[in-house]
Amino acid sequence: MSADRLPDPDRLPDPDRLASSDRLASSDRQRLAQARRVIHEERPDTGGSNAVYAAYVAVIASLTYGIPASRAFFQFVDPAWMSRHLTGAQGVLVVGVAVVGLLLLAYRLGSVRGPVVPDLPFLDHVAGSALDRAVVLRRWWWLSLFGCVLGGLLLGGVVAAGMAVAKVTSFVVLVPGLLGGVALGLAVAGAWLWGQVRSWPTGPRGLATFLRGRRSLRALHLVAMRTQSARAVTVGGAVLAGDLRAARLDLAAPTTRARRVRLRARGPLAIVVERDALGLRRSPGALATGVVLAGTGSWALAHATTPGVPNIVAFVGVLAAYLGFGTWAEGLRLQGDNAGTPPLLGVPFRTEAVAHLVVPCVLSATVSLLVGGWLLASSQAGTAALWWPLLTTGLIAGTHLMAAFRGLPPVSLFGSGSAVAAVAFWYARPLLLAVVGGVASTALLTRGGSGNAVPVLLLFAWAAVMLGLRRVRLLDEAHRG
């Protein structure tokens, strides 16, 4: 061996240091095992077996229900159209956008509820001790990682098998589908943990902690984990009680931008509109998210006006437009949450509710016109691509008026045997009305022309607005002393 290839003695690992590190890790694992025995009162720990059983149920459900449902979906959506639009560059682009959106969602979720959230007593008495945090928190990370990888594997397998059985593509897609699902699960788990690590402003937060379990676990701060653990308890209780208002207020991020900007003295209605605009200025993430969702919804609704496009495109468009409008309608929801408090501006309750619709309606209409104009300029759609998404804004606004002032679910729903499904349906009624009205009217537009579609859409929009105003009146009267 030449002299320039001889190893540097200063860079060689110290055997004594490695042995000491191994002894410390072994000691921490032993002490953690003793703590677990104390916690479980000498009873066997069934956490691992519960995870295996949940995975077994998920696999059986995917094989029994997932693949047939995927096959039926791809057959319903016209296999020839799906094969033309999802097997080339467009398919790669759609999948790429969906993956990036999923990763961003996982990263954002990590700052709210990360993959490593032990119970409060465990955090106080075990995680806060001198034990290595990578050893103490490893169990939660491995369970979350296993769940993400298994979910990605099942998702990739179900989608690929459904496409193959529906003859959208060949069975060769199963291999890349499974491998892509595993890779997606790993990426989602890494983004989820990285979002939790970066939720604390100090400590190691760079890319070196991405999918590096030991580094990331050691970088987690105890205060941040305690906050997320306490939030998980309160949000879980709010969900079980059917009080999504309490869960939404607990999950709301603190305002840190544009704190020095103040409202100017204006008329009572103008100040309500300006307050909503200031709220979006202080939450640029919500503003950008709404633009992306509303733009996607307008693009899908514009393309759905072309004859031959499956109704699933209109469904995606209405859903995205509904979610985008919702990110801009925080002022409307806050008024519904604060119903019963004295009106500081002296504006009637119903008038203030209508004023809160101005900002989201203007933003939604602007995005619809921009997207429709771009499609017309590129000669990808007809003139309906310009005015149809704009006309759908009325339906979306009415359903959000229903959603913001629906109040708490009736107590009678919790007494039935299917209480969870009943409460979920009660909360989903505005969204269902928007989806049914939007998809049905779009289908009439492509088959019977605007003469049939426009009256149907206006009828659904009028019904949504009337039901929303009725909910405003009932909620206002319920809080009158």
Pairwise CA distance, residues 154 & 329, whole Å: 36
pLDDT value at residue 183: 93
Q: For 393-404, write each residue's pLDDT tens digit.
A: 999 999 999 999
Q: Are 302 and 388 in contact (CB under 8 A)?
A: yes
Pairwise CA distance, residues 137 & 220, whole Å: 10
DSSP one-letter code for 411: G
pLDDT value at residue 10: 40
Pairwise CA distance, residues 64 & 320, whole Å: 30
Mean pLDDT score of the chain, rounded to an integer? 81
Pairwise CA distance, residues 117 & 436, whole Å: 39
Q: Is residue 434 very low, low, confident or very high in pLDDT (cuts 50, 70, 90)?
A: very high
DSSP one-letter code for 137: S
> If you average pLDDT over each of 46-60, 213-227, 337-351, 353-367, which comes out highest?
353-367
pLDDT at 439 over 60: yes
pLDDT at 410 over 80: no
Q: Are 231 and 113 in contact (CB under 8 A)?
A: yes
The runs of H, that is alpha helices, within 10-137 are 15-39, 47-61, 67-76, 79-86, 89-112, 120-122, 133-136
115, 199, 321 from 252: Cα distances, Å:
19, 14, 22
Q: For 70-109, write each residue's pLDDT tens digit.
A: 888 887 777 777 777 666 677 778 788 888 889 999 998 8
Q: Are 387 and 372 in contact (CB under 8 A)?
A: yes
Q: For 386-395, write each residue's pLDDT tens digit.
A: 889 999 999 9
